[in-house]
Structure 1
Amino acid sequence: MSQDNRLVHIVDEVPELDAARAEGHLTMVLVLDGFLDAGNAAARAAQHLIDLTDGGGSVVATFDVDQFHDYRARRPAMTFNRDHYEQYDAPRLLVRLLKDSGGTPYLLLSGPEPDNRWEAFARAVRSVVERFGVTRVVSMGSVPMAVPHTRPIAITHHANNPDLLTGESPWRGELRIPSSAQALLEVRLAEWGHDAMGFVAHIPHYLAQLDYPKASGALLENVEIAGRLTIDLSGLAAEAEDREAEIARYLAANDEVEDVVRALEQQYDAFERAEESGSSLLAENQPLPTGEEIGEQFEQFLAGLDGPDES
């Protein structure tokens, strides 16, 4: 047994996947918490998938999280009850077998993004993909952007095979960005002959620290198409409506913050017009609020909204 195989324990027999193997189509959804998760959008989407399956699905593969997690950088929570410690929330990085609304089985790999040994992690994921016959890995992520919450959620589509792309990229040219374990995995899977693709939601930066279920729903809508799955999104839609109403109430009572949102709307619309006309990606005479201005206004904004752990 290779060292990489010892990093993940895979269940030997999973009869529920036999039909998927026979049909030649099995999707694995990938969500790694931490770096690519503004607005908790991807993690909330993953939890929604788990909640939709009775019992949260069955675990079919478990990674040795001790080999990947930096406990001092990301200390797990635990409870101190009067005079003793209890309820340690151990980090878990695992693969679940879930079923969509129509009974179609698929896999979900979720947990904290590895802090180290990314190459070893990628090889361990390869073992899962090849053991179960996964035909497509679909990842979800989200990043903070200077966009208003009053406009549709923009999604960046990416794939290691151009035939997999289901939408146009909002970007032009080449960008140098910080890497992630998810991004590296997509590159390595291509080298090993496995299809991988994903979606990154653009989150209004002033909402990046709050749960933003509207983006979770947008991500899962794309996962449905890419993974050939049927997902009940009604629960997320209700959460999104409640959050939007909360934001609207706060903006109505705070003119300064509303002014900043309006400036973002003008910038967003100017970009859209420029893209449609093909004239320029840069909009003229539409100044974007400065980072200092946005920061000052939305410190007040965030203080007026409930946090993700509150009702």
Structure 2
Amino acid sequence: MGRLSSFFARFRRDADPLAGVPDSVTPTLVYAFDGFLNAGSSPRIAVEHLQAAEEGEIVHEFDLDDYYDYRARRPAVLFDRDHYRDYDQPRLDVRLLRDDHGAPFLLMSGPEPDFRWEQFAAEVHDVIEAYGVELTVGLGAVPMGVPHTRPSVITHHASRRDLLDRSNLFRAQVAVPASIQSVLELRLGEWGHDAVGYVAHVPQYVAQVEYPSASVALLEALSERTGLTFDLEELRVQQAETVADIHKQVEEQDGGDVLAGLERQYDQMTRDAKQPLPLDESELPSSDEIGDQVEEFLAQLDRRDQSD
């Protein structure tokens, strides 16, 4: 980490993007990646919304040749008659942005690193040290057996218990596949940096299509935790339209039977957060029923797109 630390120390002296910001203001680093924790494309939609007003100034760009598996996630390139052009080169960078009131924050986004997670975490650590970041906030989303007709559930986690600002509806100790976000939060905590994360639960049957409801929930959680302010009106309009469309499709597919089971499960859990499962598990849709609904729902979306 020494080589990068000396680089950033020199960079800040020569061209500090935070010049003019009072020393008492320490930027938050917000991050989300296209990868494992991107159900419903919700984190990506949230990132795009944050960058809608301004692209921001790039303060650090990662060398993706160290981290990206080009053969597993091949970028697009346009073949134009007899030559190639418009190579869609993947980028992973940190940008300086400002919220609606001008407060600065850093946004790290791009494809989730495939390789050298420990090296990547160390490089992020150097960025944090260089810009005096006191808090990092990760945004993610996972598919879960929840209904789209209820408020989006957020699972909160942190490198220290006293950083938690809410109770989780789902409480369990389970082994889950690691992501760069989980490893990064773990390592930052070990290195003495405060790190928190918010993961939205996206209905399983829409996990492969855009789901702005979870994006709104993630940005609301970010605002509540950091005090950063964002105009979410445009996202809320998209949310209402998407929910109405999903509800129509689900009703046409099974008359709402599977949805009703998910709603009963959700309502039971909200009535008693200490009860991890509904009292009558026979009322819940099976994994096969949910899978069938996912496939049929996506098939109908494809047919509708082709028709349009």
Compute the TM-score of the two structures, normalised by the length of structure 1. 0.90
Match of 1:238 in 2: 237
Change (3 A) 1:49 1:210: same
Q: Deviations for 1:94-122, whole angstroms, at most 9, x for unmatched residues?
A: 00010100011110011111101000000
Pair 1:110 & 2:109 matched: yes
- Aligned equivalent of 2:187: 188
Q: What SS does the aligned partner of 2:301 have? A: coil
1:302 matches 2:303: no
Q: Residue 285 of structure 1 aligns with which residue?
A: 280
- CA distance in 2 between counterparts of 1:129 and 1:40 reads 26
- Alignment partners' CA distance in 2, 1:14 and 1:212: 39
**Which secondary structure state, in structure 2, belongs to the residue aligned with residue 61 of structure 1?**
strand
Shift of the 167–91 alpha-carbon distance from structure 1 to 2, 3 Å rule, reads: same
The alpha carbon displacement at 1:200 in A equals 0.1
- Decide whether aligned partners of structure 1 residues 238 and 9 sit closer, same or farther in structure 2, where only a CA change above 3 A counts: farther
Q: 1:225 to 1:186 in 2, by over 3 A?
A: same
Task: Trace 1:258-277 onto structure 2 (pairs within 5 A).
Answer: 258-275=256-273
Task: State the shift of 1:124 in Å.
Answer: 0.2
Separation in structure 2 between the aligned mates of residue 248 and residue 214 of structure 1, nearest angstrom: 13
Which 10-residue stretch deviates more, 93-102 or 168-177? 168-177
User: Matched residue of 2:119: which SS?
Assistant: helix
2:252 alignment partner in structure 1: 253
Deviates more, 1:140-149 or 1:166-175: 166-175
Match of 1:127, SS state, is: helix
- Where in structure 2 are the equivalents of 1:2-151 lying within 5 Å? 2=2, 11-12=11-12, 13=14, 15-20=16-21, 22-53=23-54, 56-151=55-150
Alignment-mate amino acid for residue 138 of structure 1? V
- Alignment deviations for residues 52-77 of structure 1 (CA, whole Å, 9 cap, x no partner): 22xx1110101111000011111112
- CA distance in 2 between counterparts of 1:6 and 1:81 reads 44
CA distance in 2, matches of 1:172, 1:246: 31
The SS at the match of 1:183 is: helix
- Determine if contact 2:117/2:180 at 8 Å carries over to the other structure: yes
Kindly tell me: are residues 15 and 283 of structure 1, through their superposed partners in 2, closer, same or farther at Cα, counting changes over 3 Å? same
- Cα shift at 1:294: 1.8
Letter aligned with residue 40 of structure 1: S
Q: Which runs of 5+ in 1 are unaligned?
A: none
Contact kept? 2:78, 2:85, Cα under 8 Å? yes
Q: Deviations over 1:264-308 (max 9, x none)?
A: 111222222333xx5x3332224221111222233111122269x
Could you tell me how far 1:182 is from its partner in structure 2?
A: 1.0
Bigger mean CA offset, 288-297 vs 68-77 = 288-297
Give the Å deviation of 1:16.
Answer: 4.5
3-state SS of 1:253 partner: helix
Q: Separation in 1 of the partners of 2:111 and 2:10?
A: 19
The number of residue pairs the alignment matches comes to 304
Per mean C-alpha deviation after superposition, the further-off stretch among 35-44 and 265-274 is 265-274
Question: How much has 1:174 moved relative to structure 2?
Answer: 1.8
Q: Is the 8 A contact 1:217 1:237 kept in 2?
A: yes
- Kindly provide the amino acid, as one letter, of the partner of residue 294 in structure 2: F
Following the alignment from structure 1 to structure 2, what is the Cα–Cα distance between the partners of residues 225 and 272? 21
Q: Name 2:215's counterpart in structure 1.
A: 216
Which AA in structure 1 matches 2:217?
A
Matched residue type, 2:228 = L
Find the aligned partners of 2:17 and 2:4 in 1 and give their Cα distance.
26
